[in-house]
Amino acid sequence: MPAELKLENVSRHFDETKAVDNVSLSIAPGQFVGVIGRSGAGKSTMLRLVNRLIDPTSGSISFDGVEITKLKGKELRNWRRDCAMIFQQFNLVERLDVLTNVLIGRLAEHGFASSMAMHFTDEERTMALQALDRLDLVPQALQRAGTLSGGQQQRVAIAKALVQQPKIMLADEPIASLDPANATKVMDGLRQINRQDKITVLVNLHTLDTARAYCDRIVAMRAGRVMFDGTALQLTDDVVRDIYGLEGLAEFNEAVTSTQGLKVPA
């Protein structure tokens, strides 16, 4: 299958802890995959491994048949451009305006001089504005990113990811710092990108119902290992209990961890 993301026996150790322990996954193009699990289960580490913000201790990650773990220099930067990353804390430059923040997504295409001069072409600006328009942020384009609300900042981050023209979009707890209304907007944005642009989305979530609502496929991790890999329907209460280690809990109520329960009209 073309453009498939493949993880084979990938491990990452931090001293004694195995953050990611022998994970093998293969993700087909265009899938919307949710990764769930408790904090510290290795979800973030796994995404960072794919984007090469950290390197694996062992194992192989490949995309479209190209080995990712061996990439260096320009090729590595091109790979990072191809698999855009969205962070829980947005990771925008708060003191720069929204437009420039989005244009940062174009830096992989720039040489030293134009990048240092913050010089972008008109085509790139048009591209950035189109991306902002898709996320309803054009009016804020010249505002400083730091003055925006959390939900708006996360949508700026998505617009930045879009102008990278990625093949995969990785999102690390993108809605964990957002209120339910904004969380819905961000998740809807990701779904729209997944469906319209056919971009593979791999998203870490800590709320089950969000995963059920948006994801074609759910991967559950516990202590660095993949414990479950299937559809939302296959994710039964027993499986959930196993993943979250809620054996002691008599009754598990999904709504408690929900971000969807309070649907506020925007």
Partner 1 sequence: MTAIPDTPPLRPIDQFELDYAALRRRSRITWLVAAIIFFAFFTFSAWLGDFFKVTQVTLPDGSRDWRWIIPAGIPRLGEFIVKTIPSLSWDTLGADLGEWFWRWKVWMNLLIETILIAFMATVFGVIGGFVLSFPAARNLAPNKWSLWISRRYLEIARTVPELVWALIFVFCFSVGPMAGVLAIGLHATGALGKLYSEVNENIDMRPLEGVKASGGTWFDQIRYGAVPQVLPNIISYTLLRFEINVRSSSIIGYVGAGGLGQEFREALSLQEYTDLSALFIIIFVTVIVIDFGSEKLRHRIIGIEKGPAT
Q: Which residues bind partner 1 (CB under 8 A)?
A: 51, 53, 77-81, 84-85, 87, 89-96, 100, 104-105, 107-108, 110, 112, 115-116, 118, 143-144, 146-147, 157, 160-161, 164
89 or 236, CB closer to partner 1?
A: 89
Contact call for residues 93 and 101 (beta carbons, < 8 A)? yes
Residue 80 C-beta: closest distance to partner 1, Å: 4
Return the DSSP state at 46. Answer: H
Q: Cα-Cα-Cα-Cα dihedral of 256, 32, 138, 117, to 10°?
A: 120
DSSP 138: G
Min separation Cβ 147 and partner 1, Å: 5
Closer of 152 and 184 to partner 1 (Cβ): 152
**Distance of closest approach, residue 85 Cβ to partner 1, in angstroms:** 4
Angle, CA of 181, 183 and 186, to the nearest 5°: 115
Give the shortest CB-94-to-partner 1 separation in angstroms. Answer: 7
Give dist(CA 97, CA 78) in Å, integer: 24
Which residue, 69 or 143, is less far from partner 1 as judged by CB?
Answer: 143
Backbone phi and psi for residue 216, each to the nearest 5 degrees, phi listed first: -70, -30
In the complex, what is the shortest distance from the CB of residue 3 to partner 1, in angstroms, rounded to a whole number? 18
CA-to-CA distance for 147 and 223, rounded, in angstroms?
A: 38
In terms of CB distance, is 94 or 237 closer to partner 1? 94
Cα–Cα dist 221/243, whole Å: 7
Nearer Cβ to partner 1, position 73 or 265?
73
